[in-house]
Amino acid sequence: MRIALPLMLAALFAAGLVSTATGQAPAAPASPAAPALPSAADKALIARGEALFDQHCAGCHAPAIEGAPTRADLSTFDPQFITETLKTGEMQPMAKDFSDADIAAVTKFLLSY
């Protein structure tokens, strides 16, 4: 009987049902954290970004004219890339009157999609 116990533990370990360190069942894997709900400030920033996007960007990016990424496409872009494109890149002429806060709002809106 003493020989059977180590063999049984070895089989349980191999099946992943027992940890060698404690002889106990392993802890359940942590479930992924639920995404944080946007705060009131985030909601206001997203709404401001949406208004700016609708006024200055949607003409090309909402229906997606040929060659322009859609809003869904833009939502996958790196935030730094979006910011730089609006500040100094090819979208700068359309965003020339945007403040840094406006650019942050448009970026937040795009990433909220």
Render pLDDT for 34-86 as a digit per residue (tens, 0 to 9): 667 778 889 999 999 999 999 999 999 987 788 899 999 999 999 999 999 99
User: Can you tell me the distance from the alpha carbon of 29 to that of 111, in angstroms, rounded to the nearest whole number?
Assistant: 29
**103 exposed, middle or buried (CB, 10 Å; 0-12, 13-18, 19+)?**
buried
pLDDT value of residue 65: 85
Sorted by where each starts, the structural domains of the chain and their CATH numbers stand as 40-111 (1.10.760)
Give the predicted TM-score (pTM) of the model.
0.67
pLDDT in tens, 15-33: 555 555 555 655 666 666 7
Distance separating alpha carbons of residues 62 and 74, to the nearest angstrom: 10
d(CA 83, CA 15): 50
